[in-house]
Amino acid sequence: MIDTPESVKPGVSVQPVAKEASDYLKESLTDQDVTYAYDLGNKQDKYGRELCYVFVEGTLVQKDLIERGYAIVRYAEAPNTTYLEELKNAEKIAKEQHFGVWGIDDYVQSKNGDESFNMKEDANK
């Protein structure tokens, strides 16, 4: 249910905040007791990626990324929505505090109620 800026996608320049998000995630998961849990729906997306909630010492990693402005809520599809409200609340706080992606003007764009990152080159500046 989250999306982070691209850092390794072929043909896409490294997006703002991507390196920070990647570095933070690596640091958070290295040498930690990591657990995960699946929700009620599909266990993989159409690209074969695992759809699960990741926890480190009881902390939901997805929420932690959102709170810091390293990710946005996206791709939430029932029935995989157990933590959706919690993630949306974390995102609201990150927006209000202008953390990470929310601190860059016009970087997170909203279209038909779905938010995504502005891929224009000028958003990188």
Q: What pLDDT digit, counting tens, does each position of 38-52 carry?
A: 999 989 988 888 999
CB 65 within 8 A of CB 4: yes
Task: Identify the pLDDT of residue 46.
Answer: 86
Residue 125 identity (one-letter amino acid): K
Which residues of the chain fall below pLDDT 70? 112-114, 119-125
Task: Identify the pLDDT of residue 123.
Answer: 46
Task: Identify the pLDDT of residue 33.
Answer: 93
Tokens of 65: 């990324």
Task: Identify the pLDDT of residue 114.
Answer: 67
